[in-house]
Amino acid sequence: MTAQALDGPVRTALADLLLAMADDEFVLGFWDSEWTGIAPILEEDVAIASLAQDEIGHAQALYQLLAELEGGDPDELAFGRRPEEYRHAQLLDHPRTDWAFSVARRFLYDTADAARLDALGASAYTPLAGVVAKMRREETYHLLHMHAWLERLATGGQEPRARLVAALERLWPDALCVLAGVEGDDLLVEAGVLAESLAAVRRRWLAGLTPELERLGLPAPPAAPPAGCRGPDRSDDFRWLWEQFTMVRRSDPEAVW
């Protein structure tokens, strides 16, 4: 299926989904990059820099898909919007905080994202299916890595465990935002772009996650996500990050690299 074959409402819903996914990966990549040079051990410094680079790469591919669908320039989408125009999940409004907090957030995000990508692997919108096939292979490494960290902190003594539990309790409500429904996701399911509604993806994610959290004695998810899951209200922390990642471009928007 090509962009021309999509009717108006389906196209709008797909554009919303692509923007949400691209912004998720983009903002997470920039938070991760905040660890470069100061990760807890040298090996992790290398790893988190690679994770950040992967996420920015995924965002670039998704912004490119969006630009092909709706017109526009991927760089302009990435760097040319005001903070309130970003559509990332509220989970990514938090600052990097301490290492346990970053691990908790990444683990929640990576597992939710894996469930979302599972529902797009056979998408009837073939340009998206192609990008997703690549992303899933790379995200497997992220999942394994963050799961290893989750287990290490959960079983690594009193302080790491206490910090991890506090982070999960703080982040859980906002983590549910990653898979909060978007307007028109039923149309995407009907058109075969998405295999199941985001509500169904969320149920599948939580069903897969719960036994593992129980095994490690970690906090379970709350019943429902907060309101206003993907903006337009944004935290001061995200506004600070936005200042950082748009700084060079704002200094000379017309510059050619």
Partner 1 sequence: MRTLDETQVWEALAEVPDPEIPVVSVVDLGLVHAVELDGDRLRVELLPTFVGCPALELIRRSVAERLAGMAPQVEVEMTFAVPWTSDRITAEGRRKLRESGFAPPGPAAGGDRDSRPLFATIAVWPQVTCPWCGSPDTAMENAFGPTLCRAIYWCNRCRQPFEQFKAV
Closer by beta carbon to partner 1, 24 or else 93? 24
How many C-beta atoms surround the C-beta of residue 99 within 10 A? 21
CB of 115 to partner 1, least distance (A): 9
Judged by beta carbon, residue 98 or residue 212, the one nearer partner 1 is 212
Task: Quote the CA–CA distance of 143 and 112 in Å, as a whole number.
Answer: 10
Q: Which is nearer to partner 1, 114 or 124 (CB)?
A: 114
The answer to whether the beta carbons of residues 116 and 24 sit under 8 Å apart is no
67 versus 133: smaller Cβ distance to partner 1:
133
Smallest gap, in angstroms, from Cβ of residue 147 to partner 1? 5
Using alpha carbons, select from 67, 189, 207 the residue that is nearest to residue 122: 189
Q: What residues line the site for partner 1 (CB under 8 A)?
A: 43, 46-47, 49-51, 53-58, 60-61, 111, 114, 118, 127, 130-131, 133-141, 143-145, 147-148, 151, 208, 212
User: What is the rounded CA–CA span in Å between residue 198 and residue 200?
Assistant: 5
Find the shortest distance in angstroms from Cβ 35 to partner 1. 13
Query: Taking the complex as a whole, how short is the minimal distance between the CB of residue 38 and partner 1, in angstroms?
Result: 17
Q: Please, which residue, 130 or 253, has the CB nearer to partner 1?
A: 130
Question: With respect to partner 1, which residue has the nearer C-beta, 93 or 113?
Answer: 113
Q: How far is the CB of 232 from partner 1 (least distance, A)?
A: 28
CB of 209 to partner 1, least distance (A): 8
